[in-house]
Structure 1
């Protein structure tokens, strides 16, 4: 970074706290800046111009100072009362978007130290006004902003392309599945993937790593281990790789997964329904895909009576009675290979997304290194 001169933010921007409670805002035609990624709306604007909006309250609370995001906005707008608006009053000297990029890059060293308090850490408007900003010539700011805006646009294009590819392959996979199960006979789950319970004896001195299931078909995750004394009266059941798992309270929203090799040695409570596909008849991968289709989710929903959330419980007998399509095993295995190919593609995309997401922060870090 060049040795740019520094100027206090308050010498360039009018800094003022937002004027409307986010939850109390009345939807209207003007953007309302919130702490979230997307703006809300309000019936009237409170500010106008080229502005940077900064949250005043820690994003995490509980005595921990953090900021997730800042916003840049132009025109007429409103701002939530837990943020401050820094409105540019020296447009011939500074660009709001340049300052937005700088503060986003250096928030941990420039803004976070301003937070005070115990449970709810926050910043004062006056302290924000005293933040020193590096101030290159306006022409240089324009070049920097154009470069960073172009980088953001490129990363968005990459994300959009990956999303489009994944939508296409998911659509093709669904069409293939439709063909595979066409005219296939139906059999109850009790015949093809019966319930398996491996109750674990609880040693009070033992350690039991638990497993969780993400909703919407997002797979399993590892919970922190608990001690035998923490288990109390709860029953634990051993889970083995290849098990078809259902969360009995969230199966209705797609908490259905297959235990992976990395899940070996973990346990689930009575809230987990563990089924084992009958070898030579059906594959767990095929059943999982079926249950996450519209038809499968409809049947899971019908087997999970009640209201919302934890009041909708998947019954064991109802699950075992669900009729599932049973095409020939060879057809299932061919489809499973397609599923594996799609999963491999998504894994590659995930790596690309991760690298793509790191481009802007890395560029900002290089650009503003040593400027805080």
Structure 2
């Protein structure tokens, strides 16, 4: 990086004082600011009668907007053209950039820079525990400021790089949608004429009670909602256990939360979950190997049709009271094509999962590339 001069923000921007008193019956578009330099976003509208603030500040394009509380976590943004006409409360100090000295695109890059986040965090340190940054503290932060034309040239190059990565991600998204569509079509075909059999016959529930030993360390697992898979909690000593009747988990188990299965808390235990434990709230089903596979069953139960059956088997009106009993689970009828057909479907599903994993790695590399390039420019 060229040894660019450091300039205080207070030298290149001034407060944007476009205050208005909220009027009851009038709708106001609200603006929020994401963490870690991810920009501003438009929130839901609010009626002037529903705010506790005496004043709103109107936002214009290229305003620099700061979230007092979360500036320490990079919640600073430059408003876009489409966000002009939104409003913020007094918790969001707003400034007008001197565009004869700083290009708004350069300031956007600054908001994505770790060095800037660190400066905001340092200025926000306080004794109240809330660590709000005061406008004066924010304006004392120094940023590198090359000549205007150099700012514009660097911003254009980095925007070009960002656009290329967006194009790559758009392509990856399209490929994944096509793959999921192919999987859904394949599943539709294999269950079209398959007989329906109750869960109790093809994958009965198996409970493996755990006798907690206070001298033993355990690892607890659970199933995320919406088909997001298993999660693992940190190890803990048996003496710290606060719940009763936990169960052992084995690799290959079909694991269901008896209180959240209706919203997709259904997953397959992997090798990494072998010999972990789960609370008594979890049901473990073991597919009959000559009849069913866990992967096929999980895909069906997480489908719209499967979740409807699971929901019907989980009576109750409130979230915490919608409990899936072993009896009701056992009665759910699932399509059972030949096990060889299920295994072929599982292989296709595994291939698509591997494809998604590769795509995730590409996305992470893209994000790292942008971050590293910005650090090289600004560090």
What's the TM-score, normalizing by structure 1? 0.90
Matched, 1:57 2:69: yes
Q: CA offsets, 1:352-372, max 9 Å, x none? A: 111112122111111001xxx
> Taking structure 1 as reference, are residues 271 and 19 closer, same or farther at Cα in structure 2, changes over 3 Å only?
farther
339 and 197 in structure 1: CA distance in 2 versus 1, 3 angstrom threshold:
same
Whole-Å separation in 1 of the counterparts to 2:124 and 2:25: 26
Following superposition of structure 1 onto structure 2, how do residues 251-330 of structure 1 map, counting pairs within 5 Å? 251-330=261-340
Aligned twin of 2:51: none
User: 2:77 aligns to what?
Assistant: 71
- The one of 41, 45, 64 aligned to 1:38: 41
Q: 1:20–1:324: structure 2 CA closer, same or farther, 3 Å change rule?
A: farther
Q: Secondary structure at the match of 1:111?
A: helix
Which whole-Å deviations, capped at 9, do the CAs of 1:185-215 have from their partners, x for residues lacking one? 1110000000100001111222211002111
TM-fit CA distance, 1:183: 1.2
| CA–CA distance in structure 2, aligned partners of residues 179 and 202 of structure 1 | 46
Q: How far apart are 1:68 and its partner, in Å?
A: 4.3
Quote the offset at 1:262 in angstroms.
0.7
Instruction: Kindly state the Cα deviation for residue 143 of structure 1 after the two structures are TM-superposed.
Output: 0.7
For residues 38 and 174 of structure 1, the distance between their equivalents in structure 2, rounded to whole angstroms, comes to 34
Note the alpha carbon deviations across 1:55-105, whole angstroms, 9 max, x for none: 21137xxxxxx41443211444422433322211x2111112212212320
Structure-1 separation of matches of 2:145 and 2:378: 11
Distance 1:14 1:297 in 2: 55
User: Equivalents in 2 of 1:166, 1:224: separation in Å?
Assistant: 32
- Structure 1 residues 150-161: aligned runs within 5 Å: 150-161=160-171
Q: Is 1:111 aligned to residue 123 of structure 2?
A: no
Which deviates the most, 280-289 or 106-115? 106-115
Can you give the 5+ residue segments of structure 1 that lack an aligned partner in the other structure?
60-65
Deviation at 1:46, TM superposition (A): 1.6
* Secondary structure class of the residue paired with 2:365: helix
1:335 CA drift (Å):
0.7
Greater displacement, 39-48 / 247-256: 39-48
Q: Partners of 2:25 and 2:18 in 1: how far apart?
A: 12
Aligned Cα RMSD in Å?
A: 2.4
Q: Distance in 1 between matches of 2:320 and 2:290?
A: 35
Give SS of 1:53's match: strand
Alignment of 1:332-347 (within 5 A): 332-347=342-357
Q: After superposing the two structures, state which structure 1 stretch, 150-159 or 285-294, moved more.
A: 150-159
SS at match of 2:31: strand
Which deviates more from structure 2 when the two are superposed, residues 120-129 or residues 105-114? 105-114
